[in-house]
Amino acid sequence: MIEGNEEYQGDIGLLQLSSDSFSVDEDEGTVTITVIRSEGSYGDVSVDYSIVDETAVSGEDYLITDGTLYFSDGEIAQAIQIDIVDDNTVETSESFSVVLLNPVSAFLGDVTEATVSIEDNDKAPTELDTDTEVEESSGGGSTNALLFLILLCLCFSQKKINLIFSKQ
């Protein structure tokens, strides 16, 4: 019950991430992480966010720094835009985390940390020139280079590779 000159202040709400996991293809350019304000939207509030490297590395795989989101009275969503670096390196999926912390005039909800997975779009070589002949030298340099290429294909390819060695 409101008495005298008091005004109903409403609920300030909870700030949390819209999901605990996000996925982006490396060639998409950006990923958007949404922070939502639920169970009330009264007053101006803010929350800091921090980016934590896991297998992805800031400056190499994605571009963003820590920051602060500001919610005006009645505002229920804010976005964190993260640029994804599309390199030419064949690699496995990489990830980093986004963490909400230090709310001002608000409370944190249940989802305060999310993992962002970057799915690689680069393909490893899957074929070798079958007409390539390698003469073994006393140092084995040419043979070593060919074996390196074969191992590279085996590591990053899901295809079967047949090798035929002959000694002449």
Rounded to whole angstroms, the Cα distance separating 145 from 12 reads 64
Tell me the HSE value of 5 on the side-chain side, using a 13 A CA sphere: 0
149 membership: H or E segment, kind and range:
helix 141-156
Q: Is the same domain home to 104 and 165? A: no
Residue 1 domain-assigned (yes or no): no
pLDDT of residue 34: 98
Q: Which pLDDT belongs to residue 87?
A: 80
Give me the pLDDT at residue 161, please. 57
When mean pLDDT is compared across 30-34, 132-136, 161-165, the lowest value belongs to: 132-136
- CATH code of the domain in which 101 resides: 2.60.40.2030
pTM listed for this prediction:
0.68
Contacts of 110 (CB under 8 A, 6+ apart): 16
Give 35-87 pLDDT, tens digit per residue: 999 999 999 999 999 999 999 999 999 999 899 999 999 999 999 999 999 88
98 and 155 inside one domain = no
pLDDT tens digits, one per residue of 90-146: 678 899 999 999 999 999 999 999 999 998 776 665 555 555 555 555 555 555 556
pLDDT tens readout for residues 22-31 = 999 988 999 9
| Residues 64 and 102 occupy one common structural domain | yes
- Domain boundaries, position 145: 123-168
Higher pLDDT, residue 163 or 91 = 91
Specify if 3 maps to a domain: no
**Which residue in 127, 133, 97 sits closest to 113, CA to CA?**
97
Specify whether the CB–CB gap between 12 and 43 falls below 8 A: yes
Indicate if 144 and 77 belong to the same structural domain: no
Maximum distance among all Cα pairs of the chain, rounded to whole angstroms: 104
Q: Are residues 33 and 76 in the same domain?
A: yes
Is residue 108 exposed (0-12), middle (13-18) or buried (19+ Cβ within 10 Å)? middle
The span from the CA of 147 to the CA of 164, in Å, is 12
For residue 5, the model assigns a pLDDT of 38
Q: What pLDDT shows up at residue 10?
A: 59
Domain count along the chain: 2
Shared domain check, 76 and 152: no
Pair (77, 151) in one structural domain: no
